[in-house]
């Protein structure tokens, strides 16, 4: 594989409105697929919104794949796209996680990453000792979810285990505890490209209107995007040289 087309779903999910968010994700995935995207990346917790638990609780969270995700997997088999999906999930012992699940072009669940650096009272922390890259299209992909990029530990762990690229599904907007160059620093330290899929909108106490999705290499943002509405951001990436091909995002607003 010489080059790959990637789509970032820079979405505006509504906290607690799972049905709305699922339809928005499906619509955005279809647009990305129509653009021939081979990888489709969503923000952190795009299925639920970030601060969902005060509105709808956690009883609805299932082990994955649940009925909706199974249906989505069947659609992906026809679309020939791999999706990195931010979604709450229930563990085998009933614990709850903030996860990113990777569903491949055949509709199979390739693997998952559970967020390590959690502050939400509903979510358990993933096990840092079993963190591993996920092999996607013969590429070792490391996933660090939002604040997992806050320190060097997780990115370095993924690099040492063979990751060739880092994907950061996030819900991280500017403000008191907003990002201050963490993604750029992780790229510098590891020498790996970092692809950040962020979101827009706002939840109860967090505003994302100026949150940015970014493509970073050698600590330098090559492409950035923020918007007041949902958008599908498509670009081409050279897998062999790990270089950006596209001079800008192709943007489809929703």
Q: What is the mean pLDDT of residues 109-117?
A: 95
Instruction: Determine if the pTM surpasses 0.95.
Output: yes
Tens digits of per-residue pLDDT, 74-105? 988 888 899 999 999 999 999 999 999 999 99
In Å, how far are 85, 99, 105, 150, 215 from 117, measured between CA atoms? 18, 12, 29, 8, 22
Structure tokens at 229: 């509405």
User: Per mean pLDDT, which range of 18-27, 114-123, 226-235 is the poorest?
Assistant: 114-123
Q: How confident is the model at residue 1 (pLDDT cuts 50, 70, 90)?
A: low
Query: Can you list the alpha helix ranges (DSSP code H) found in 35-169?
Result: 53-56, 67-79, 153-160
Q: Which two tokens stand for residue 39?
A: 């990888």
* pLDDT of 180 strictly over 90: yes
Helix, strand, or coil (residue 134): strand
Quick: pLDDT tens for 5-17: 999 999 999 999 9
């Amino acid at each position: 594989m010489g080059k790959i087309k990637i789509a970032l779903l820079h979405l505006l999910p509504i906290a607690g409105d799972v049905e709305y968010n699922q339809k928005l994700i499906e619509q955005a995935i279809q647009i990305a697929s129509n653009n021939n995207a081979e990888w489709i990346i969503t923000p952190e917790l795009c299925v639920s919104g970030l601060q969902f638990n005060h509105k709808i609780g956690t009883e609805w969270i299932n082990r994955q794949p649940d009925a909706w995700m199974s249906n989505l997997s069947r659609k992906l088999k026809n679309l020939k796209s791999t999706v990195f999906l931010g979604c709450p999930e229930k563990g085998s012992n009933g614990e709850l996680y903030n996860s990113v699940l990777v569903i491949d072009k055949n509709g199979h669940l390739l693997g998952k990453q559970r967020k390590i650096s959690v502050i939400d009272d509903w979510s358990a922390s993933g096990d840092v000792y079993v963190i591993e890259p996920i092999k996607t299209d013969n590429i070792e992909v490391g996933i660090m979810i939002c604040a997992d990029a806050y320190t060097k530990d997780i990115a370095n762990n993924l690099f040492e285990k063979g990751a060739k690229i880092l994907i950061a599904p996030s819900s991280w907007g500017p403000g008191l505890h907003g990002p201050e160059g963490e993604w750029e620093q992780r790229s510098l330290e590891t020498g790996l490209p970092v692809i950040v899929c962020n979101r827009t909108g706002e939840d109860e106490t967090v505003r994302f209107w100026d949150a940015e999705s970014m493509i970073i290499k050698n600590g330098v943002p090559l492409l950035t995007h923020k918007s007041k509405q949902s958008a599908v951001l498509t670009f081409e990436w050279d897998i062999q040289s790990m270089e950006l091909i596209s001079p800008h995002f192709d943007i489809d607003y929703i």
